[in-house]
């Protein structure tokens, strides 16, 4: 994948690597409500999907892959999309593409920094799978936009959501 200046790249560092406890955060969701990661961790894994921009062609294809695989994804994990877009932009994107999962606004880039995916203009396209104890179980760096749901499902434990 070609890196574009200003877009993030995943930088593995203490606190954002496989086996580390996932950094906690609180962000506004597409409805303007606070979502805190530590409140979401529990019986099912949590999947954090960082994507560059709501409505861009590749991001739309990626998020629609999650929408199309939603039945199996929602049975096995809680999924959150995260971008720098403001609440209004992610609300429109969710509505326009009929996305069934929660989108979060990281407009100050603080969460992207914690996870080592920040860039000046956009976060890296990276997905983190967090297990039920709050530890990072896997990091998906090489995203296939049209097959991202399958990539996530393959990285989830077989008993997730059971």
Closest CA to 53 of 1, 2, 114, 4: 4
Closest CA to 135 of 37, 50, 51: 37
> What DSSP character marks residue 134?
S
Instruction: State yes or no: is 64 an active-site residue.
Output: no
Contact 39, 145 (CB under 8 A): no
Query: Of 27, 47, 54, 59, which is the active-site residue?
Result: 59
Catalytic residues, by residue number, are 59
């Amino acid at each position: 994948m070609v890196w574009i200046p200003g877009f993030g790249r995943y930088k593995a560092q203490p606190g954002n690597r496989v086996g580390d406890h996932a950094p906690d955060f609180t962000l506004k969701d597409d409805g303007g409500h606070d979502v805190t990661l530590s409140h979401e961790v529990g019986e099912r894994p949590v999947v954090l999907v960082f994507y560059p921009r709501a409505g861009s062609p590749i991001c739309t294809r990626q998020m629609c892959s999650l929408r199309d695989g939603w039945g199996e994804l929602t049975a096995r994990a809680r999924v959150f999309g995260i971008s720098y877009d403001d609440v209004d932009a992610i609300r429109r994107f969710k509505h326009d593409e009929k996305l069934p999962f929660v989108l979060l606004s990281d407009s100050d880039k603080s969460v992207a920094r914690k996870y080592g995916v920040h860039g000046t203009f956009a976060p890296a396209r990276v997905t983190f799978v967090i297990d039920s104890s709050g530890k990072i179980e896997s990091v998906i760096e090489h995203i296939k936009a049209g097959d991202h749901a399958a990539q996530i499902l393959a990285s989830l434990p077989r008993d997730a959501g059971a």
